[in-house]
């Protein structure tokens, strides 16, 4: 348990350091030319703190590996944490080359949100199931996460480019779509906030559900707005459900998943609305003046280079290594499993990104939208495919 405690503490320290580093990067973007030296100093401090946090996260990774006896990438908590670490590594490399503090202000908070999302899953260290007991586990999963971490930087640069370049003086379709992207980030924050709060107070509501003539138990860790079909609430002194999950939502966990989605929309919308009230402007319009000091050509270059590097890494892990392991484990290279299908969709999308950029000249705003949509596909794969769709990968 000493190793387990050390591992958990190291991850928490890394999380805190990333947040602290964000404030230093924020201090580094001050526009007063007289403080140019201070801006550079603040950015350097931010980078050093980020690197220390990354080292702390490596300590988490190594100690958890020793404690569990296998590479800690076998479940959603471990994979998502490693994905966050890959994002931070990609940021450190890109920042060291371009030295733009704006990237830290956007990339670090988003990466820490991913790490916070990991804490929503069980942190217990369980033995590997038989299908995961292979040296291909760390090879396949770590390569996928590293590729996605690099592609994450293209999303950050693309989002910054769109906020920087799209006209925010009047309401148009383009800035409405951009605001929806920002709103989506707030929904993700709302999901993390509401689940963290109710997990902290150990909230639980239990339902007895009838499925195929059998009685099973469904546990909610958020107040039940949507209850499972054909269920009876067993817990006392908890919120009375408003309605049952619709018939077309199949599966024992359908009601709980719908309930989580509803709470995420409630919490995210409230946080977004409060932020709007404080800023008195659309979020994109409020952020745009802060990015006027960033060269759009540099953001466009970061977008392209991140995809140019991340795409082959993802190809190696998500398709080639995955196919080899599938052949060894299941006797076939490809089986149209939902996880495999969405990995292929992700691959085709980023292949199209590079094709359109190199052969059709899709630079600037067009590349920015592609970078944002591409990472949205990755997040759909991480959240919806993992948590909603039945898959051979459901053991994770």
**Nearest-angstrom CA–CA distance, 140 and 145:** 9
Give yes or no: residues 220 and 286 share one domain: no
Whether residues 78 and 115 share a domain: the answer is yes
CB hemisphere CA count around 44 (13 angstroms): 6
Per-residue pLDDT at 389 = 59
> Residue 127: its pLDDT value, please?
72
Q: Which two tokens stand for residue 297?
A: 């050509």
Q: Minimal CA–CA distance to 59: which of 94, 15, 109, 124?
A: 15
Is 50 in the same domain as 163? Answer: yes
Helix (H) or strand (E) holding 220: strand 214-220
Residues 298 and 216 in one domain: no
How many angstroms separate the CA atoms of 314 and 279, rounded? 38
- Report yes or no on 217 lying in a domain: yes
CA dihedral 39, 43, 49, 53 (to 10 degrees): 150
Which residues in 8-23 are b (16+ Cβ under 10 Å) and which e?
eebbebbbebbebbbb
Is 393 inside a domain boundary? no
Sheet holding 231-233, edge to edge: 214-220, 205-211, 231-233
Last residue of a domain, one of 255, 281, 307: 281
- Looking at the fold, whether 257 and 205 belong to one and the same domain comes out as yes
What range does the domain containing 196 cover?
169-281
Would you state the pLDDT for residue 31? Answer: 44
Question: Do 153 and 247 reside in the same domain of the chain?
Answer: no
CB 387 within 8 A of CB 191: no
Residue 145 CA to residue 85 CA, distance in Å, equals 9
* Confidence (pLDDT) at 1: 61
pTM listed for this prediction: 0.85
Q: What is the pLDDT of residue 323?
A: 86
- Is 13 in the same domain as 143? yes
Residues 6+ away with beta carbon under 8 Å from 317: 139, 140, 141, 142, 143, 144, 145, 146, 147
Measure the CA angle with vertex 279, ends 278 and 284; round to 5°. 140
What is the full per-residue pLDDT of the chain (396 aa) written as tens digits? 678 788 889 999 999 999 999 988 888 776 444 444 445 788 889 999 999 999 999 999 999 988 888 888 888 888 899 999 999 999 999 998 888 888 888 899 999 988 888 877 777 777 777 666 778 888 888 999 999 999 999 999 999 999 999 888 888 888 889 999 999 889 888 888 888 888 888 888 888 887 777 788 888 888 999 888 878 888 888 888 898 887 766 666 677 778 888 898 999 999 999 999 998 888 888 888 888 878 899 999 999 999 999 999 999 998 898 888 888 877 777 777 788 888 899 999 999 999 999 888 888 899 999 999 999 999 888 877 766 655 555 545
Name the domain count of the chain. Answer: 2
User: Of the residues 281, 298, 331, which one is the last residue of a structural domain?
Assistant: 281
Tally the residues of the chain: 396
Considering the domain architecture, whether residues 13 and 130 belong to the same structural domain is answered as yes
Question: Among all chains, which residue has been given the structure tokens 């609305």?
Answer: 273
Buried b (16+ CB within 10 A) or exposed e, 137-159: bbbbbbbbbbbbbbbbbbbbbbb
Give the domain-ending residue among 281, 305, 330: 281
């Amino acid at each position: 348990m000493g190793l387990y405690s050390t591992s958990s503490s190291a991850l928490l320290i890394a999380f805190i350091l990333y947040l602290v580093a964000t404030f230093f990067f924020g201090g580094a973007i001050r526009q007063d030319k007289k403080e140019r030296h201070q801006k550079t100093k603040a950015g350097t401090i931010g980078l050093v703190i980020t690197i220390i946090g990354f080292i702390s996260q490596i300590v988490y990774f190594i100690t958890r590996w020793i404690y569990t006896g296998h590479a800690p990438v076998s479940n959603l908590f471990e994979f998502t944490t490693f994905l966050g670490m890959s994002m931070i590594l990609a940021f450190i490399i890109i920042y060291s080359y371009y030295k733009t503090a704006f990237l830290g202000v956007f990339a670090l908070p988003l990466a820490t949100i991913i790490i916070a999302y990991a804490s929503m899953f069980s942190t217990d260290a369980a033995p590997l199931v038989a299908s995961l007991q292979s040296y291909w586990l760390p090879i396949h999963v770590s390569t996928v996460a590293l590729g996605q971490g690099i592609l994450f930087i293209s999303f950050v640069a693309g989002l910054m480019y769109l906020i920087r370049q799209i006209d925010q003086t009047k309401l148009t379709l383009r800035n409405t779509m951009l605001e929806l992207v920002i709103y989506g980030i707030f929904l993700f924050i709302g999901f993390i906030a509401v689940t963290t709060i109710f997990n902290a107070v150990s909230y639980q509501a239990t339902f007895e559900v009838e499925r195929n003539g059998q009685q099973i138990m469904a546990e909610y860790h958020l107040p039940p707005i949507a209850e499972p079909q054909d269920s009876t609430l067993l817990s006392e002194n908890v919120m009375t459900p408003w309605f049952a999950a619709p018939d077309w939502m199949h599966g024992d966990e359908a009601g709980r998943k719908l309930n989580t989605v509803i709470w995420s929309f409630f919490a995210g919308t409230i946080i977004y609305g409060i932020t709007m009230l404080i800023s008195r402007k659309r979020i994109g319009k409020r952020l745009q003046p802060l990015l006027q000091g960033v060269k759009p050509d540099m953001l466009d270059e970061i977008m392209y280079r991140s995809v140019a590097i991340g795409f082959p890494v993802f190809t190696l892990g998500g398709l080639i290594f995955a196919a080899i392991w599938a052949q060894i484990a299941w006797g076939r290279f490809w089986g149209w499993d939902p996880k495999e299908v969405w990995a292929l969709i992700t691959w085709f999308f980023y292949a199209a990104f590079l094709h359109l950029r190199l052969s059709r000249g899709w630079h600037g705003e067009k590349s920015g939208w592609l970078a944002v949509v591409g990472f949205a596909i990755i997040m759909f794969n991480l959240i919806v495919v993992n948590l909603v769709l039945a898959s051979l990968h459901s053991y994770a």
